[in-house]
């Protein structure tokens, strides 16, 4: 059997399970077609130095892959100015194919934690790596337009790779999954101050309302954590909703199994909606930033969202009632959207595999 040099894969390695769902989707799809291993690196802290490029990357890797998340965002601690720790002047020394998959540019709707518009340094670095890339895909229209405006011409708009995870085929039960986010200061992280804690408390009340309404109507409700920081939310929410079930695990397949059991989902994290999408479960998003809006536009269901900052108890209850009546219709729409975009993802994987094979000729 032919052997190939490993793929050197740079991505976010934090407590966010969404990033690992992207990784699992990409890795499993590639390994179904080619016997190849992966070496994983942290985009922010594993610096790609000149010595590492010349003496390791170029000699020992088949391709350099950078994948997932809002990496095209200002980062003052990296030498590129965005979430890839490599001096831009060194990009030209990379002699193997560069593959960029499912990247985005984060921009929160309120109190943007990523510094607003990209700096000129960051723009120049992003443009150069795209100019050198053999493959470049982005996860949303806003990021596509940002790259186009800085002169990138070879990028494609595609759904987040985690949308194409092979999920469970569990039968639907009278069951609903929920998710609350608190990974950002504004959402209640430890450094969010008074406003962050106020928003956290508001979000707990909102989701306790959702849970209690559904439980009274005969649903079981499960909190699926997408970040280790959400454990404290589970503890506090169970005080308000004693019947609440929860899942806090790094096992992506266990998460997919739970989403597959549910009739529908109410969530804040975009990757909660994405993993539900992967198993054909519709999700209503109480979103906090623009990437969620862009995702809903791509799957042609923009009505399945409401800003968590603009929500109130009355309109949340109305959304519960409306979604309960219409979730079966959206189950069909999600399957239609997945069937529309899945061939593009399969073509992308085939393209990557062919690049790797050609490098070994």
**Alpha-helical runs (H) found in the chain:** 17-31, 50-52, 58-60, 120-132, 141-149, 193-216, 231-240, 252-261, 270-278, 290-298, 313-359
Sorted by sequence, the CB contacts under 8 Å of residue 6 that are 6+ apart come out as 36, 37, 38, 39, 60, 61, 62
H or E element at residue 136: strand 135-138
pLDDT of res. 166: 83
- CATH 3.40.50.2000 domain range(s) in the chain: 175-339
Does 7-161+341-359 carry CATH code 3.40.50? yes
Architecture of domain 175-339: 3-Layer(aba) Sandwich (3.40)
pTM of the model: 0.93
- Whether pLDDT at 255 is above 80: yes
Spatial strand order of the sheet with 7-11 comes to: 38-42, 7-11, 63-67, 98-103, 135-138, 156-157
What's the helix, strand, coil split of the chain in %, to 5? 50, 15, 35
Exposure on the CB side of residue 259, measured as CA atoms within 13 A: 32
- Whether pLDDT at 115 is above 70: no
Average the pLDDT over 202-215 and give the result: 95
- Whether pLDDT at 198 is above 70: yes
pLDDT of res. 110: 46
- Whether pLDDT at 1 is above 70: no
- Which is more confidently placed, 112 or 198? 198
Number of neighbouring beta carbons within 10 Å of residue 202: 15
For residue 165, give Cα distances in angstroms to 140, 147, 276. Answer: 18, 27, 10
Q: Which two tokens stand for residue 134?
A: 């053999």
Using the 8-state DSSP alphabet, how is residue 171 labeled?
P
Average the pLDDT over 26-48 and give the result: 94
């Amino acid at each position: 059997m032919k052997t190939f040099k490993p793929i050197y894969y740079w991505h976010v390695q934090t407590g966010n399970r969404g990033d690992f769902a992207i990784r699992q989707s990409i890795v499993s799809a590639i390994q179904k077609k080619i016997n190849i291993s992966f070496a994983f690196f942290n985009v922010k802290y594993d610096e790609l130095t000149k010595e590492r490029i010349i003496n390791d990357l170029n000699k020992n890797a088949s391709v350099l892959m950078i994948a997932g998340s809002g990496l095209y965002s200002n980062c003052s601690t990296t030498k590129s100015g965005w979430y890839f720790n490599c001096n831009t002047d060194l990009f030209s020394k990379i002699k193997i194919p560069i593959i960029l998959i499912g990247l985005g540019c984060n921009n929160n709707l309120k109190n943007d934690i990523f510094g607003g518009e990209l700096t000129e340094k960051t723009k120049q670095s992003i443009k150069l790596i795209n100019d050198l890339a053999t493959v470049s895909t982005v996860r949303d229209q806003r990021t596509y337009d940002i790259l186009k405006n800085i002169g990138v011409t070879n990028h494609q708009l595609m759904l987040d790779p985690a949308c194409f995870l092979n999920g469970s085929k569990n039968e639907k039960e009278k069951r609903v999954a929920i998710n609350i986010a608190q990974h950002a200061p504004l959402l209640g992280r430890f450094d969010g101050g008074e406003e962050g804690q106020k928003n956290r408390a508001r979000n707990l009340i909102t989701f306790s309302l959702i849970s209690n309404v559904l439980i009274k109507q005969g649903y079981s409700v499960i909190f699926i954590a997408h970040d280790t920081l959400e454990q404290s939310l589970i503890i506090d929410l169970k005080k308000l909703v004693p019947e609440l079930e929860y899942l806090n695990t790094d096992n992506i397949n266990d998460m997919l199994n739970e989403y597959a059991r549910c009739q529908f989902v109410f969530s804040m994290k975009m990757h909660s909606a994405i993993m539900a999408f992967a198993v054909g479960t519709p999700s209503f998003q109480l979103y906090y930033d623009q990437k969620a809006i862009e995702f809903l536009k791509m799957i042609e269901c923009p009505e399945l969202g409401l800003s968590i900052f603009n929500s109130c108890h009355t309109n949340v209850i109305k959304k519960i009632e409306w979604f309960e009546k219409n979730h079966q219709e959206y189950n069909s729409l999600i399957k239609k959207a997945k069937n529309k975009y899945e061939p593009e993802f399969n073509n992308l994987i085939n393209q990557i595999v062919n690049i790797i094979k050609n490098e070994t000729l």
